Structure 1
Amino acid sequence: MDLLPAQSAEALYRRVYRSLRAAILSGEWPAGRRLPSSRELAREWGVARNTVIEAVELLMVEGYLVARPASGTFVAPSLAPEHPRGALSQTEDQHPPLHLSGWAERALAAEPAREAELHFEFDFRPGQVPTDIFPSEAWAQALSARSRDLQRGGYGDELGPLETREALVAYLRRERGVQATPDMLMLTSGSQGSLDALARVFLEPGRHVAVEDPGYLGARRVFEAAGAHIHAVPVDEDGLMPEALPSEATLLYVTPAHQFPTGAILPAERRMRILEWARRTGAWVIEDDYNSEFRFGSRPLTALQGLSPHGVIYVGTFSKSLAPALRSGYLVAPARLVRTLARARALTDRQPPTLDALALAEFLQGGQYARHVRYARGLAEERAEALRAALERHLPSWRPRFSGAGLHLYVELPPELDEKEVRRRAGEAGVGVGIASEYALTPQPSAVLLAFAHLSPLRIGPGIERLARATR
């Protein structure tokens, strides 16, 4: 009997183990057969005897082999021929059918099949952030400083470390006007984790959710996966239109400070009408404040939650202001709801990474986060101005919506241009752009989305010039 071919980075005793197990499961060594001695096998395979002994002992622990005093080692009698060993050697196309749950069916239907990752010389597609300025040295120091705290043991608070929640509540109260106490804040793995937790607690097939149209796809897909009926609420230059809200809904998802993807800012009058609608219908409002830190020339807008702390669920993330790889976010809601969300989350994700949360507390308390945000905001403003100037110079007939905030621009196209054709021609020229219709449930005017914060001004100008040549 020969050894099976080695697998990558496989220990030699594992290779011997696999070879012996394969002989047993295939019936080559039937139940009750006596194994050759460890010396014989070692000599046959050219390995150390201890290597064979280690493999045999593992097979004995797992029940494939049994030892009989003064007789030797034998294949276990329980592995008799009536056990269908052929079923243990299925090929990939013989696996059991995928009986997907209703949730999985809906989730996969909502999420389009991913194409091969595209690479562009000039990539303006939305969703990209300026990770080149991530304060890696300061973050590493914060991780190192707080790693000793892990020696305390245990899982910790299901909402996340109290120290982090206290620091974050203080920051949100100061910078965003959020009305909260630490027991009203739950740390999550990002805004998507927050939305998933909310969908699991609030939604089921037959319930209704109102969303902005166009709006953030990540939220809509979470709600669709839960089986909710989606109401598309139109958006204009001032954001969501309250007069179009449905007569009933369990949740309303809204981005008031910087509507995604148009960049519209929801005025006070509409905010009040939305809150009155929520009070009247009994709906919860989810306020996604996804990139509020990036407001240029003035302080960030006050959160909608500050007007109704017991009716608005405030969702935030550090993916835009620090780095997507951190997977760090939070939600603020009434304490009773927060505890309910945390208890439900414990079935799938007990709590967010503690060490990252403690490092974040260090960042917030020491002022490093505020300093980083100021620097990142100034850089994004410089790059937004470079994009504005490049569009004015090379594509003067295109109509960008400048809201003085965010990480991308929503740009309406001239009537003669089709957004999908623009994307195709731009892509062929090595320029990546987003299109508005991908975020909409109903027909919208042709528009493209141009991200800028991750690109240097030296790249933005030539990229827009190339885009202009490609779309003439």
Structure 2
Amino acid sequence: MAAPGVQALKRAGAALEGLTLLPAEPGEALHTRTERTLRAAISQGRLPQGVRLPGHRPLAAALGVSRNTLVDALSQLEIEGYVEVRGRSGTRVCVPPDEDMPPSPPPLPLSAWARRALSGQVEDAGGEYPFDLRIGQPVPELYPARAWAQALARRAAAPREGEGLRDPLGPPETRRALAAYLRSERGAQVTPEMILLTGGTQSSLDALSRILLEPGRLAVTEQPGYPGAQAAFAATGARLLGAAVDDGGLRPAELPQRADLLYLTPACQYPTTVTLGAARRQAVIRWARQAGAFVLEDDYAADLHHRGRPPSVLQGQAPDRVILLGSFSKSLAPVTRSGFVVAPPEVTEVLSRTRPLTDRVPGVLDALALADVLASGAYARHLRRARALLAHRCGALLTALRAELPGWNALPARAGLHLYVRLPPGSDEQETVARAARLGVGLTPARPLGPAHEPAVLLAFGHLSPEALRQAVRRLRPLK
């Protein structure tokens, strides 16, 4: 019969046979991961009370870590009372297994809002490609680094400068500069008191959804359309209805008799990039008044137009029914996190009073720097350069597509950072994207953005040079 010490070593050896490090947590150090693995093995009874662990080197080898990492982990477990180090007698487990510990954690008790929010998200396919034409790419050239850095430095050097730093709408001087810009450049009917500064369009959509929608109310979105808006509306429990888009934009005849809210991208429809004409704009305003609905006008790409001047905002025609959303994350850079809402005074009042439930004020330093960039004319100068650059790259991509893939029908974009490209009839959209990936080119399928009636893909162009765009299209020639 084996001695007790030998039996203990055998038990420890058997337990170590299947012992592997638990999956790493984000940012977790290796010694912490080792501690967590051994702590779980003791609590679950895989390393029972009284068992003597093997020496440091074999135990470290079993876990796939260095001896020093193991020693650090055991030292922490000794402090916590899980093990006892007895010199030449080795290290022994001191505590019994936790009999009450469930085999796996119970499901997270999510709220109905969280479940709806998660179900409405569209996951990125991921992956890296030699030529990545997927939408959402940052454009380093669209960042007036010098002007922005100077504005930030000046404001950071005088942190008490500026009035109303605790104003829930945002600093008044920023709202004054923004109101002047929107009146002169976008034809908006706006005063500083109608503006709420936000962290970007998605935070604007979330705030408006919470005060305008709830279970039983109806929100209408373009189809295909922006999934971020659809997800924000669905999270409230409101009913969603899609209104079809054609080459003239949203079709007003698709709108229901009654609704609470309509999300619209009239200047540059997302994702098709078409512009809503004057007759349809008037029809939408008539519908909004008759239906008692607010129109959420997302002006996401107007500053990045590259074919003539953009149309004036719909808000300028009906400031009592249209809520204007905008952001500088594309025209400046995503890191600025500077967005805004222009709404009727009664809506702005509710937004300002409910804002403290989520955040007291927007990013004040960025907001004050934005005021300087707008008021100094630096933003206007930056846009002139950015528009020329985007027009050149958009033209290069269109020319390459016509030459190399004549069966792919790209809609000419007046603004924005991508093209909407119809695939040849009978094409399988997902298969086209998969084949392009195998050729080293990343594309975005149009179908996740809504129940599109045709196979189409989106090609981003703003972040790549004309030559890179031409090379990417040449790689796609086997797909024609």
TM over 0.5: yes
Alignment of structure 1 residues 9-408 onto 2, 5 Å:
22-23=80-81, 95=105, 97-113=107-123, 117-151=126-160, 156-408=166-418
Amino acid at match of 2:254: A
Task: State the match for 2:40 in structure 1.
Answer: none
Whole-angstrom distance in 2 between the partners of 1:7 and 1:390: 53
Distance 1:251 1:382, change over 3 A: same
Amino acid at match of 1:260: Y
Whole-angstrom distance in 2 between the partners of 1:279 and 1:463: 47
| C-alpha contact 2:141 2:386 (8 A) present in aligned 1 | no
Distance 1:248 1:149, change over 3 A: farther
Whole-angstrom distance in 2 between the partners of 1:304 and 1:377: 22
1:455 aligns with 2:461: no
Amino acid at match of 2:432: V
Amino acid at match of 1:102: A
Whole-angstrom distance in 1 between the partners of 2:303 and 2:124: 30
Deviation at 1:409, TM superposition (A): 0.8
| C-alpha contact 1:175 1:300 (8 A) present in aligned 2 | no
TM-score by length of 2: 0.78
Whole-angstrom distance in 2 between the partners of 1:342 and 1:95: 40
Amino acid at match of 1:216: Y
1:414 aligns with 2:427: no
Structure 2 gaps of 5+ residues are: 1-29, 34-72, 85-95
Distance 1:7 1:460, change over 3 A: same
| C-alpha contact 2:142 2:331 (8 A) present in aligned 1 | no
Whole-angstrom distance in 2 between the partners of 1:169 and 1:388: 36
Deviations 1:338-369 (A, max 9, x none): 12112212101222110000011110111111
Deviations 1:237-262 (A, max 9, x none): 00000011012111000000010011
Deviation at 1:129, TM superposition (A): 3.9
| C-alpha contact 1:285 1:312 (8 A) present in aligned 2 | yes
141-150 vs 225-234, greater mean Cα deviation: 141-150
SS state at 2:269 partner? coil
| C-alpha contact 1:265 1:403 (8 A) present in aligned 2 | no
Distance 1:214 1:90, change over 3 A: farther
Task: State the match for 1:71 in structure 2.
Answer: none
Alignment of structure 1 residues 420-431 onto 2, 5 Å:
420-431=430-441
Distance 1:180 1:148, change over 3 A: same
Deviation at 1:90, TM superposition (A): 9.8
Amino acid at match of 1:464: V
Task: State the match for 1:47 in structure 2.
Answer: none
Deviations 1:157-206 (A, max 9, x none): 10000010000010011100011000000000100010000001011111
SS state at 2:361 partner? coil
170-179 vs 139-148, greater mean Cα deviation: 139-148
Deviation at 1:19, TM superposition (A): 7.4
Task: State the match for 1:36 in structure 2.
Answer: none
Distance 1:86 1:285, change over 3 A: farther
Over the aligned positions, Cα root-mean-square deviation in angstroms equals: 2.7
Deviation at 1:336, TM superposition (A): 2.1
Distance 1:423 1:145, change over 3 A: same
Deviation at 1:335, TM superposition (A): 1.8
Structure 1 gaps of 5+ residues are: 9-14, 29-84
Distance 1:412 1:213, change over 3 A: same
| Aligned sequence identity (%) | 47
199-208 vs 90-99, greater mean Cα deviation: 90-99
Amino acid at match of 1:466: R
Deviations 1:222-278 (A, max 9, x none): 111111111110001000000110121110000000100111110111111111111
Whole-angstrom distance in 1 between the partners of 2:124 and 2:272: 24
Amino acid at match of 1:374: R
Amino acid at match of 1:390: A
| C-alpha contact 1:194 1:330 (8 A) present in aligned 2 | yes
Deviations 1:11-52 (A, max 9, x none): xxxx9x9779734xx799xxxxxxxxxxxxxxxxxxxxxxxx
Deviation at 1:98, TM superposition (A): 1.0
Deviation at 1:443, TM superposition (A): 4.4
Task: State the match for 1:465 in structure 2.
Answer: 474
Amino acid at match of 1:134: Y
| C-alpha contact 1:131 1:322 (8 A) present in aligned 2 | no
Whole-angstrom distance in 2 between the partners of 1:225 and 1:240: 24
| C-alpha contact 1:129 1:407 (8 A) present in aligned 2 | no
Whole-angstrom distance in 1 between the partners of 2:419 and 2:310: 18
215-224 vs 93-102, greater mean Cα deviation: 93-102
Whole-angstrom distance in 1 between the partners of 2:249 and 2:258: 20
Deviations 1:270-300 (A, max 9, x none): 1111111110110000000001012224222
Distance 1:95 1:242, change over 3 A: same
Task: State the match for 2:443 in structure 1.
Answer: 433
Amino acid at match of 2:188: V
Amino acid at match of 1:119: E
SS state at 1:253 partner? strand
Whole-angstrom distance in 2 between the partners of 1:20 and 1:313: 61
Whole-angstrom distance in 2 between the partners of 1:454 and 1:114: 18
Task: State the match for 1:61 in structure 2.
Answer: none
> Number of matched residues?
402
